[in-house]
Amino acid sequence: MDKGFLPINKEEMQKRGWQQPDFVYVSGDAYVDHPSFGTAIISRILEQHGYKVCILAQPDWKNDASIREFGEPRLGFLVSSGNMDSMVNHYFVSKKKRPNDAYTPGGVMGKRPDHATVVYCNLIRRSYRETPIIIGGIEASLRRMAHYDYWSDSFKRSILLDSQADLISYGMGEKSIVEIADALNSGIAVKDITFVAGTVYKTKSIEGIYEPEILPSYEEMKETPAVYAKSFKVQYDNTDPFNGKTLVEPYPNGTFVVQNPPQPPLTMQEMDDVYALPYMRTYHPSYEALGGVPAISEIKFSLISNRGCFGGCSFCALTFHQGRTIQVRSHESIIEEAKLITQDPDFKGYIHDVGGPTANFRQPSCQKQMTHGVCKHRQCLFPKLCPNMKADHSDYLELLRKLRALPKVKKVFIRSGIRFDYLLADADDTFFKELVMHHVSGQLKVAPEHIADPVLRRMGKPENTVYEKFQQKYKKLNDQLGLKQFLVPYLMSSHPGSTLKEAVALAEYLRDLGYMPQQVQDFYPTPSTMSTVMYYTGIDPRDGSKVYVCHNPHEKAMQRALIQYRNPSNYDLVVEALEKAGRTDLIGFDKKCLVRPKKEMLRKDGARPAAFNKSQSETKGQQRPANKEQKPKKTIRNVHKKKK
């Protein structure tokens, strides 16, 4: 293999003595040759297997000639929107345009199109009608079957059809891309590559497919969203390589989109091999004059130790993309990469992260998974911890100790997220103590997401009592060690199931905690998550129950404002929310109140109205109904305590 970056233009290709590449990889990101980028992993794996790969990064989709930079590849085009779904990359949840793109030189926005995978593929088809196109990455992976698209508020077909591609390599793709490449290289037509795990293809005939699971047709789901909810549940239950079935989605004119079961998880040796490839570990030097690629700063001094997640959060797409089976690198592999990091002239002694989707998952939740797969109808952590789960941090702890002992390493942080319910399930507190002592930079970021149990159930998160137990233990350990470190909870507003009632309960919780978050994430409906299906259908696919969904932008703003009720700019929204929720007892001068009344709400003589002179406890249950049909409500806090 040649050392250095893979070619990004014709001149660089010719310097290698190549007349024609085997594959042209079209990406919506700038070219960063680092194992945190899917483009780098897939292209280096193909290179390792003897294939010539050129990178066409961020081509001008308005110019047909841009796609012809390298000419027609011998075997095919590989297309990805980049490390993010292009729509998430472009837009806030409010659908307003983001000002910057961290995956573009200089952070410039607008160097890739909306729905980049579809646009790039159609650009290719205008020049190369028959050349095989294989799409992959997060955008293609999560849109592989019919799905709800939040940005257009529409129900879309499989991206395979809209893009005119031949195959989808979904998930992480290391194994499937090599099988596809070898099949094409052996002369098999792309339309006949129907046998590779981790792929989706289209066909006119499903004869010969062994025991397929036939999903509802696209027309049925588009007509009746509840049917889509049922279909999604079947898809969700078939994301495991050991017990997943082949899924078939019918379309008009006799077309079928067929999803093969996922590729098998990588062994430890295979994971090590992926991360040992000759990455340059930075962006292509041609971007230097443009200011470099900002995204490199987030991962340059971080280490990926695992892949997959059995957390099962409803709003997360990891189950669909990486699966629930944990895959890990060896200590030796991670230590070797850490040594490379310490040799970087910019390294200041701090390893920013050692983790993955969930940092403290370094083994399968139970050994049964490795032979029988994950349970189809049962989660590992939700609603309660599975009795078969073994919580053990000893391997992760040993790894962190080795990293801390490396020369030039001053501190090893953990920033990719700790699953606190799993941490509490470990009977041995050694890891928890060392986490507090060595791996927190003053603040530990955790993700309780909410405190109202009805919302947490929809989120697939543990009850609030679990987080409270974690908080208490964290504080106790800090006190014992003489440290003043804090928890920074990530919170989400407007998730399906959250009404103004639950939003007020969260505001009260934050009041009692004495904490106001600087940032709040409004629920973002992204393709192929359980929560997005709830948002679109109003149904929880897990049990078919109806779910309250906040669609109104103004109500969303009120829910978000309640979490940051101390912010003066949120005052009017908070007052309006409390009035609508029948909680005007929280408007006043008592220490339990969230906001003070406006001057207009005071009597003309400047005295406080009697209602505001009473304590909160005296006025509970005595508020006027918001309208004639609404009965006085019990207090949120008392109801919440009762449920606990």
Q: What is the CATH number of the domain that holds 63?
A: 3.40.50.280
What is the predicted pLDDT for the residue at 599? 73
Q: Is the pLDDT of residue 186 over 70?
A: yes
Choose one of 169, 203, 237: the last residue of a domain: 203
Q: How many structural domains compose the chain?
A: 3
* H or E element, residue 455: helix 453-459
Average pLDDT of 615-636? 38
Residues 461 and 367 in one domain: no
| DSSP 8-state code for residue 331 | H
Q: Is the pLDDT of residue 616 over 80?
A: no
Of the candidates 220, 32, 20, 206, the one whose C-alpha atom is nearest the C-alpha of residue 128 is 20
Instruction: Determine the residue type at 181.
Output: A
What is the predicted pLDDT for the residue at 441? 84
In 482-602, which residue ranges form alpha helices assigned H by DSSP?
500-513, 530-537, 553-563, 571-580
Residues 364 and 435 in one domain: yes
pLDDT, tens only, 7-34:
999 999 999 999 999 999 999 999 999 9
Is residue 264 in a domain?
no
Choose one of 441, 467, 496: the last residue of a domain: 441
Average pLDDT of 187-207? 97
User: pTM score, two decimals?
Assistant: 0.90
Backbone angles phi, psi at 112, to 5 degrees: -135, 155
What is the predicted pLDDT for the residue at 492? 96
Domain extent, residue 419, equals 301-441
Q: Is the pLDDT of residue 625 over 70?
A: no
Residues 63 and 148 in one domain: yes
In 251-344, which residue ranges form alpha helices assigned H by DSSP?
268-275, 296-299, 318-321, 331-342
pLDDT, tens only, 329-374:
999 999 999 999 999 999 999 999 999 999 999 999 888 887 888 9
Residues 494 and 422 in one domain: no
What is the predicted pLDDT for the residue at 602? 58
pLDDT, tens only, 391-438:
999 999 999 999 999 999 999 999 888 999 999 999 999 999 999 999
* H or E element, residue 218: helix 218-223
Q: How sure is the predictor about 642, in pLDDT bands with cuts at 50, 70 and 90?
A: very low
Mention every residue, 6+ apart, whose C-beta is less than 8 A from residue 317: 138, 142, 526, 527, 528, 529
Average pLDDT of 509-524? 90
Q: Is the pLDDT of residue 634 over 80?
A: no
Residues 393 and 464 in one domain: no
Is residue 235 in a domain?
no
Q: Any idea which residue has 């407007």 for tokens? A: 494
Of the candidates 257, 129, 134, 146, the one whose C-alpha atom is nearest the C-alpha of residue 204 is 257
> Average pLDDT over the chain, rounded to whole?
92
Choose one of 441, 468, 483: the last residue of a domain: 441
Q: How sure is the predictor about 518, in pLDDT bands with cuts at 50, 70 and 90?
A: confident
Residues 480 and 399 in one domain: no
What is the predicted pLDDT for the residue at 42? 98
Backbone angles phi, psi at 348, to 5 degrees: -105, 10
Q: 3-class secondary structure for 377-411?
A: CCCCCCCCCCCCCCCCCHHHHHHHHHHHCCCCCCE
Percentage of residues in the chain with pLDDT exceeding 90?
Answer: 86
pLDDT, tens only, 457-497:
999 999 999 999 999 999 999 999 999 999 989 999 999 99
| DSSP 8-state code for residue 546 | B
User: Two tokens at 236?
Assistant: 């969700």
> CB–CB of 540/548 below 8 Å?
no
We report the CATH number of the domain holding residue 611 as: 3.30.750.200
Exposed/middle/buried for residue 560 (C-beta within 10 Å: 0-12, 13-18, 19+): buried
Is residue 256 in a domain?
no
Of the candidates 79, 33, 87, 85, the one whose C-alpha atom is nearest the C-alpha of residue 56 is 79
We report the CATH number of the domain holding residue 412 as: 3.30.750.210
| DSSP 8-state code for residue 466 | H
DSSP reduced 3-state for 241? coil
Residues 415 and 462 in one domain: no
Q: Rounded to an integer, what distance in angstroms lies between the CA atom of residue 226 and that of residue 220?
A: 10
Is residue 258 in a domain?
no
Q: Is the pLDDT of residue 309 over 60?
A: yes
DSSP structure string for 45-77: HHHHTT--EEEEES--TT-GGGGGTT-S-SSEE
